[in-house]
Structure 1
Amino acid sequence: MKPNELLHPNQRRSSKAYLVNELRKAVFAWREQDYPEITSTTKRLLQFWFSEDHIVNDEPFEFWFCQREAIETLIYIYEVIKKRNFIDMARDFGAGPIQGYDPSYDQYPLYAFKMATGSGKTFVMALAVVWSYFNYKKENKKDYTSKFLLIAGEKNVIYDRLYRDFKDGKIFRELPLIPPEWEDDFALKVIPKEDPIHVIPEDVLFLTNIQQLQERKNKKKEVEEYVDRVYELPSVYNVSDIYHENRIKEVLLTCPNVMILKDEAHHIYNFEKAWKKILLRLNKNLASQYGKGINMELDFSATPKTEPVGALFPWIIVDFSLKEAIEMNIVKIPLKGMVTGAEEIASTKAVERYRVWIDAGIRRWREYKEALKPLLKKPVLFFQCPENKEADEIFRYVNSAVPDLKDKVLLIHTDSTGEVKKADLPQAREFAKTIDDPNPDKNPYEAIISTLMLNEGWDVRNVNVIVGLRSYTSQRKVLPEQVIGRGLRKMFPEEDANIKKSINVLEVIGPPGLIDILEELETQEGIKIAEFDTGKPLELTTIFVDKNKLDKDIEIPILSPRISIGEFYIDKSEVDNLPSLKIPLENKVLEMEYIASNMLTGLEAIKRKWNLPVPQDSKSVIAYYSHQILKQLSIGGAFANFHPIVKRYVIEKLFSEKIDLEDPRVLYKLSSIEVQEKLISLFVNALREKTFIKREPKKKSTIKLSKTNAFVWSKLVYPADKCIFNYVPCDSNYEVDFAKFLDIAGDVEAFTKIVVKNGFYIEYISEENHLRFYYPDFVIKLKNGDYWLIETKGLVDLEVPHKDKRATQWCKDTSNLIGENWTYMRVNQEDFERYRFKSVKELISALKR
């Protein structure tokens, strides 16, 4: 499955979360109905996020299903059905008796999101912020807010990650979160915990961690005393010069209607901590002083469970499991590495006991290092040890006896709870920030040695091999997700996991004691972790520029977009330009006659007359038409302005005469399928282009194939002499055959298959009236200097004519602007296989007949 594939609730494993199973059904049905009962602002955001194409860092970007479902569920609960407390949600969606519910928490909207490691919780937080912000600005200030508090869990590395994403609003600039026409209206200021606060902005996101709400040194009683003291402060005071560590508490006292978002939220509900009580008291105080408390509280965690009981939060509204994350290619596929004939040696020395698995892990790491060299990627080897003393011993062995890892090993000690010890924390934090950087000057480490207890926050993309060392006699409890969680994030986020090609897989190697943990994970998640032989070599395929074929380089011109999205606007006067459909009003009797005859005698037995059903309210009919037109045009947020225009047309121009909407004949005619189709078709065809701005393009730059960075490829390849790359990357057998043809064609100078990594695409308007990006299949340079864009097509779908038209126009624009001859052609598989062509000229000649 693809990460963005929409899953039906029946396709999913039943969730153990109290509300989730019934909520999934309701949200799915609501999505299928095209999101009724939402604000026009929310409609535009959902359209922009999930129906339009996006480019991020020169590559296509799509939000994943789990991220989409999370924000949809929040919108559905809060905006559509307006369930603002747990009891209301439980009444409609709860399954069985409630466990772990504390009524004292139910003072304001509280929702939790259970999302597997690597599934993009941070993106959902940003979506929630943008949704609330623009609804606050454009819809109403009562239900929404432009003030946010984002709280990281206890571990500093989690805060560091959020800081990198949110500092200076980075995430809002780099991800497609804000429709382009609203970018100038987004004025959110992000204030990290390090920055002093002189004035509280109107639109603000405070980024902090738990420590700024509760100092770790405080005991429960001391914290409660501090809370009491804080709330004795006067209701109004000067916050212009708050610099001390606890300033965030005082700031929040003057911020009613704040949305609180919590990452790694399970730390927050430990019953030994009193900071949850701080939030409840904060809400009470704000409501008392300002008439409005906390806007809502959103919990995000892969394991949202109460401590120490371990029960799932009852208020979980979304559950996206590790199994689904693996199946949908969101995280790496974990594999169990089997070492043939390996046995655990009875020894008190960890290196002797586990030597066979340690060495197997090192061998696999070396294979990855060699295979990833052309990609400038650094694989990371992760050793997980039973205790700190075993970690010390294995560190000494790896750092001294393994030459290619000498001085490249980071040792991280943890305490009994999985926390990194303070002495190791600064180095570990810096390592987590830069681990993916292949430059040894920035980060020399290529291996980590720690304990099996290492908690979340240390999972990085480049971990390919985990060696988990756990004795078969060990009684120490280890959470299964702690074993593989450190390496689940994909090294190649844009690529599907492929076991055969060793792309985005996580190899977990260890003795029987470790395998027991993995089998426990299989049972918990309902997954089966495949086994592999650690002695089998890697088959990772890398595509890179062949320095011996630089004469086969091609420069592809880049033009400014001919098509871009503009805010939909239609002047009332434009209705005058629409032709009248001149539908006649009929003076027909609006009743029907029913006659039943005796089948034996043929005589009439029953005769009845009934009035025909006629809509009672013209507003509902015209509103329906307006919604359908906007839906087909893929326009959100325009109903209020558009509905009067449709109404005016119906009154003045739809019929052969000006009409009265209350005339039963009009209502009857409006409800007919024939009139419905004609009216909707008229508006859609006339306004299809209104959502787009078209400009004459200009030349911006060029893309040289020789500048393409190396990339992995999990599909088919063909070694062609006339392609600058070592292999031609292909998606199908037809493309392989076409590449073979181009390689032997007498008039071809150079060619390549166009892939996302090349960075070339053409924008076009899709069948559903969305702005999409089109990637033609091949670019060809002929010996006479002409260039061809070729689309190789097996099956022709509804999008093909739109792509053909746009690619043809692009070639015309390019030829005019560049002075080179560029031409587009589609080559259907059936036509190509009919003949044996010797040149592109022959191919073109045959297909143009």
Structure 2
Amino acid sequence: RSFNQLYYMPETIKNQGGVENPGNSQKSALPLVRALRPLVKAWRDDGYKGTSETTRRLLDWWFSEEHQLSNGSTFTFYPAQRAAMEHLVFCFEVLQGRSLYQLAQKLEAHIPIDPSADKWAKYAFKMATGSGKTMVMAMAVVWSYFNATREKKSGFTKNFVLIAPNLIVLDRLMGDSHSPEFFEGGIFKKYPFLPPEWSGDFQLDVIGPEEERASTKTATLYLLNWQKFVERENGEIDNPVENLLGPKPPSDIAVTLAKLKDRLSQLENVMVLNDEAHHVWDEDLVWYKAIAELYENTGLMCQLDFSATPKDQGGNLFTHIITEYTLGEAIHDGVVKRPKIAEIENIPEIESDNAAERYRVQIDAAVDKWRLYYKELKKTNKKPILFVMAENTTAADQVADYLDSFKELSDKVLTIHTDKKGEVSKKDLDNARKWAREVDEPDNPYLAVVSVLMLREGWDVKNVKVIAPLRPLSAESKILPEQTLGRGLRRMFPGQLLGNYTDELIVIEHPAFHDLIQDALTEQGVEIEFVLIQKPETLPKIISVDENKKEYDIAVPITQGGVTRSVKKLQELRVSDFPSPLFHYKDLNPVEIKMRKRDLLTRQVEEEEILTMPFADRPDIYISAITKKIQKYSRVSGQFENLAGITKDYIKNKLFDKSLDFNEDDLKRLNNAKVRVRLIEVFVDRINDLTAVSEDIELMGEELRAINIKPFPWSRDIFEAKKIVLNFTPIENKLEDQFTRLLDNDDQVLSFMKNHQQTLNFRIPYIDTNGFVRNYIPDFIAKTKDTNWVIETKGREDVDVKLKDKRAEEWCKQVSKLTGKEWSYKRVDQARFEKGRFTRLEDLI
């Protein structure tokens, strides 16, 4: 049967037409995606049923809990990353689709499949450039690893092979000691992939392409470029493959093909992860053959294919795509820059063999646009990059020489020679690899890059701000618009909260290409904005410390302690901790369901039958179900064994005013809805109280000071306040604007600061209504003669408001005692503030 028949799917979900998030997502034309989206949403809403405890803990940790990076910034996985991981888990763990044929059959999706060639599980992820494919790869590794080690599930693996299409992508995935990604497992330490209680159990050895050694840990990830599989004894590569997939790596590779294959053949049940997987479309290609060889020799758990454009040579999308996140969605969500096409009208056709003269108008316009951004953004210690695409290597050199004549760009132009497929020439490869790694660094010497046509995968540069694609007006040499944009889509300020800064990418174009661009990008759901080049840019405001206003500095003590959550405290859980009895046995008569047959006219009962009541008729099933619900609502996954025994003891001896034997009458009473709900409630409340550890606050001896705030861009409203150390106050809503003006005009307020992730980033930990530790960021810090105020402006009261208030009040109380200075907390509700028309903080308080 199809999964639609086996899994409950509400009509409201069915009627969404396959759209996972109706407000943002577009309807997908891909059969598997269209079938999966409503099912995955219903499954998510139902608590991820059908998966292991380990999987549920990981999904909750990744997508429900709040994360903070080592630099203090808040981190949240993108919705596209969540959708990708959930679709993978659903397909592999819930549907158990171990082939495309099985998957299509269970989903009733109509896909042409040759079952004889469909030998192992393949899942493709269509994710726009910049939407975080690498993060999904890392999550997939963690998911499989912990299911293999904690659940001892045979279908999961601890062996991984991550394959890159070229050396530049390989460099990006690997990183180095300065900026590690998979290098020495750095990505798993940098981002919150591992639940804290399991972090010490994660033992993964990452072996790079140049390393010839055996694994020293429980699990192994081999990071390779595909050419490793095709190296010949004489160092040559078959020309057709080279032409399609890129240049051969350096000849001094430390690991020979024979040794590599020997090591890989010793692995079992491998997970293969293909980055930029559109290179592996053909079964005749060596990349595909290498994966098939792994399947034959070691077995494959699955093959995960990641690409923004997962198409075969004929332009057809892969049939095994299970999740889709288009470029249009990424732009709409603010995950990547917002592209804007700046059109130049009435360009004169200049006859010249020199590309710099032929395209002088476009180049000058691009430099002018770049100058605007450079002037503003250099204040943030960022260097916007001008990226020019030329027709050929001769034109690239000519354009680079012309750019070098501009004062700001002199000796700051990098030329990368590529062929018409976008592959870097051998003589430029080392320089290109170095540039790709370092161009976003503050000490990078380059401000402009010139290359032939496009640079392909791996050029994941964040600082590209203006792109000038130079090409003949006949449009015979077409550049794929998505690939053109792809070189500059990644956000310059990835840590900036989405919505506070509109990061734009400017593409200099000719109106003749308007329809070409629009048609190509409409397919990706992109609503492109075309503007005339003369239209002035709306540049972001750069908010920074005003050196002339340092007298208005604000300082907040850095503290540790407060509230934390520790599952270790569950060891102290005792049956005697719970109220007893909750119910009187005799008060809960077993409910009988009766069916009566009446005569339609006389209404007389002719027949009466007691139906069998559907309930858990075995005590072990009942206790297991209750314990799992307790785990779910108290957010303590992985504690089933610890809780099940206490749950059974309490139910048997303390729940009622008599002990139970778990006979039929006992089980009928236990299945009463009131009993189940109250039983779960008392356990969840006690577990939350026990695991929420309240500690005394301690001073760290340091302070958060406003004068140390780094410059940052801001696209929303601002206010030029007098009593703040910044040149502008960032404003997020009308209430904040009104309250900022009150503080600035109040003679009793000496100074203040808008508290924000980009300013003080002052946080107070608290535990929310779901039992998660969260960080509360109050809106303002204000200083009067006698008191330091922590102030929250609140328009709409959410479920956690009182919990936040309580922790903020406690923080102020303890810090006042520790510092000898008065700290106080105040919440300002919008309705009262606007009704009272307050003009002074004292009156409001």
TM-score (norm 1): 0.89
**2:677 match:** 677
Deviations 1:261-281 (A, max 9, x none): 121122233456323212322
Kept after mapping to 1: 8 A contact 2:170/2:224: no
The one-letter code matched in structure 2 to 1:154 is: N
1:373-403 CA-partner distances (Å, limit 9, x unpaired): 3211111111112333322222221122x22
Matched position secondary structure for 2:340: strand
Please tell me the residue identity of whatever aligns with 1:323.
Answer: G
Deviation at 1:518, TM superposition (A): 1.6
Equivalent in the alignment of 1:742: 743
Q: Deviations over 1:553-605 (max 9, x none)?
A: 11111111322232266459611231111323256784648585888xxx653
Select the residue among 385, 392, 397 that pairs with 1:387: 392
The 3-state SS of whatever aligns with 2:704 is strand
State how 1:258-297 maps to structure 2 within 5 Å.
258-270=270-282, 273-286=285-298, 293-297=299-303
Contact 1:563 1:692 in 2 (8 A): yes
Task: Flag as ranges the 4+ runs of structure 1 deviating above 6 A.
Answer: none
Within-5 A mapping of 1:468-547: 468-495=469-496, 503-535=502-534, 536-547=536-547
Contact 1:197–1:242, Cα closer than 8 Å, also in 2: no
Q: Closer, same or farther in 2 for the Cα pair 1:85/1:339, shift >3 Å? A: same
Could you tell me whether the CA contact under 8 Å between 1:9 and 1:28 is conserved in 2? no
Q: How far 1:340 moved relative to its partner?
A: 4.6
* Cα shift at 1:52: 0.8
Distance 2:844 2:239 in 1: 84
Offset from partner CA, 1:189-234 (integer Å, 9 cap, x none): 21212233155543222222112222286556999xxxxxxxxxxx
Q: Aligned to 1:49, which of 52, 56, 62?
A: 62
Cα distance in 2, alignment partners of residues 221 and 660 from structure 1:
77
Q: Could you say which residue in structure 2 is the equivalent of 1:365?
A: 370
1:85 to 77, 95, 99: 99
What SS class does the counterpart of residue 384 from structure 1 fall into? strand
Read off the aligned partner of 1:394 and give its amino acid letter. Answer: V
Aligned to 1:606: 605
Post-superposition CA distance 1:116-171 (Å, at most 9, x none): 10010110111011111111111115222222221111243443443341111110
Which residue in the other structure is 1:235 paired with? none
Corresponding residue of 2:559: 559
Q: Is the 8 A contact 2:210 2:254 kept in 1?
A: no
Q: Percent identity?
A: 38
- Quote how far apart the aligned CAs of 1:722 are: 0.8
Aligned to 1:214: 230
User: SS of the counterpart of 2:485?
Assistant: helix
1:788-813 superposed Cα distances (whole Å, 9 cap, x missing partner): 10111111121100110111111122
Is 1:58 the equivalent of 2:63? no
The answer on whether the counterparts of 1:622 and 1:643 sit within 8 Å (CA) in structure 2 is yes
Question: Where in structure 2 are the equivalents of 1:763-842 lying within 5 Å?
Answer: 763-784=765-786, 786-842=787-843
Per the alignment, do residues 502 and 765 of structure 1 end up closer, same or farther by CA in structure 2, a change over 3 Å counting? closer
CA contact (8 A) 2:228 2:257 kept: yes
Corresponding residue for residue 175 of structure 1? 191
Q: Tell me if the contact between 1:472 and 1:512 (Cα under 8 Å) persists in the aligned partners.
A: no
Secondary structure in 1 matching 2:506 = strand
Report the residue type matching 2:42 in the other structure: A
Query: What is the Cα deviation at residue 352 of structure 1?
Result: 3.3
**Equivalent in 259, 267, 286 of residue 247 of structure 1:** 259
Q: Distance in 1 between matches of 2:498 and 2:63?
A: 23
Distance 1:811 1:473, change over 3 A: same
Q: Secondary structure at the residue paired with 2:203?
A: coil
Structure 1 residue 13, shift from structure 2 partner: 2.6
Q: How does 1:54-133 map to 2 (within 5 A)?
A: 54-56=67-69, 57-93=71-107, 95-98=109-112, 103-104=116-117, 106-133=118-145
**Per-residue CA shift, 1:606-654, capped at 9, x if unaligned?**
3443326532515454444333332221222233432343233222222
Of residues 389, 394, 404, the one that matches 2:408 is 404
- Superimposed CA distance per residue, residues 408-428 of structure 1 (whole angstroms, 9 cap, x where no aligned partner): 111111113220111111111
Whole-angstrom distance in 2 between the partners of 1:323 and 1:494: 21
The corresponding residue for 1:434 is 438
For 1:125 and 1:764, the matched residues in 2 are separated by 32
SS at match of 2:739: helix
Q: Matched residues in 1 for 2:345 and 2:240: separation?
A: 57
Is 1:302 paired with 2:314? no
Distance verdict in 2 for CA 1:319–1:598, change over 3 Å: closer
Q: CA deviation at 1:483?
A: 1.2
Q: Deviations over 1:722-744 (max 9, x none)?
A: 11111111211111111111112
Q: Which residue number in structure 1 is paired with residue 13 of structure 2?
A: none
Is 1:20 paired with 2:25? no
Query: Residues 11 and 279 from structure 1, CA distance in 2 versus in 1: closer, same or farther, beyond 3 angstroms?
Result: same
2:379 to 374, 378, 403: 374
Shift of 1:72: 1.2
Q: 1:18: how far off?
A: 4.2
Q: Is 1:410–1:447's contact at 8 Å kept on the other side of the alignment?
A: yes
Relative distance call for 1:834 and 1:310 in structure 2 (3 A) is closer
1:611 match: secondary structure: strand
Q: From 166, 183, 191, give the equivalent of 1:154.
A: 166
State the distance in 2 between where 1:272 and 1:355 align.
46
Counterpart-to-counterpart distance in 2, 1:589 and 1:267? 63
Deviation at 1:706?
A: 0.7
Which residue does 1:754 correspond to in 2? Answer: 755
Shift of 1:24: 1.8
* Partner SS, residue 423 of structure 1: helix
| Higher mean C-alpha displacement, 681-690 vs 322-331 | 681-690
Q: Is the 8 A contact 1:40 1:638 kept in 2?
A: no
1:502/1:538 contact within 8 Å kept = no
Partner residue in 1 for 2:617 = 617
Whole-Å separation in 2 of the counterparts to 1:51 and 1:839: 40
Deviation at 1:676, TM superposition (A): 3.0
**Equivalent in the alignment of 1:633:** 634
Aligned partner of residue 824 in structure 1, secondary structure: strand
| Cα 1:574–1:260 shift into 2, 3 Å | same
Q: Match for 2:432: what amino acid?
A: A
Give the partner amino acid of 1:760: F
1:770 Cα deviation from its structure 2 partner: 1.2
Q: Which range moved further: 798-807 or 106-115?
A: 106-115
1:689 alignment partner in structure 2: 689
After superposition, what is the alpha-carbon deviation per residue over 1:293-344, rounded to whole angstroms, capped at 9, x for unaligned? 23322111112222x3332222222221111111111111111102354454
User: The residue matched to 2:467 in structure 1 has which SS?
Assistant: strand
Question: Is the Cα–Cα contact under 8 Å of residues 572 and 645 in structure 1 kept in the other structure?
Answer: no
Q: 1:379 to 1:799 in 2, by over 3 A?
A: same
- Partner residue of 2:11? none
Equivalence map 1:679-718=2 (5 Å): 679-700=679-700, 701-718=702-719
**Residues 635 and 691 in structure 1, CA contact (< 8 A), matched pair in contact too:** no
Instruction: Summarize deviations over 1:695-724 as a string: whole Å, max 9, x none.
Output: 223212311111110111222211111111
The 8 Å contact of residues 420 and 453 in structure 2, kept in 1 or not, is answered as no
Contact 2:20–2:38 (CA under 8 A) maintained in structure 1: no
Q: Report the AA paired with residue 299 of structure 1.
A: D
Residue in 2 that maps onto 1:334: 339
The one-letter amino acid of 1:419's match is E
- Gaps of at least 5 residues in structure 1 are 1-5, 224-240, 287-292, 845-849
Letter in 1 for 2:533: T
Q: Distance in 2 between matches of 1:497 and 1:466?
A: 23
Task: Classify 1:199/1:373 alpha carbon distance in 2 versus 1 (closer, same or farther; 3 Å).
Answer: closer
Letter in 1 for 2:543: I
The whole-number CA distance in structure 2 between the counterparts of 1:697 and 1:691 is 18
| CA-CA distance at 1:745 after TM superposition | 1.3
**Native 8 Å contact 1:18 1:315 kept in 2:** no
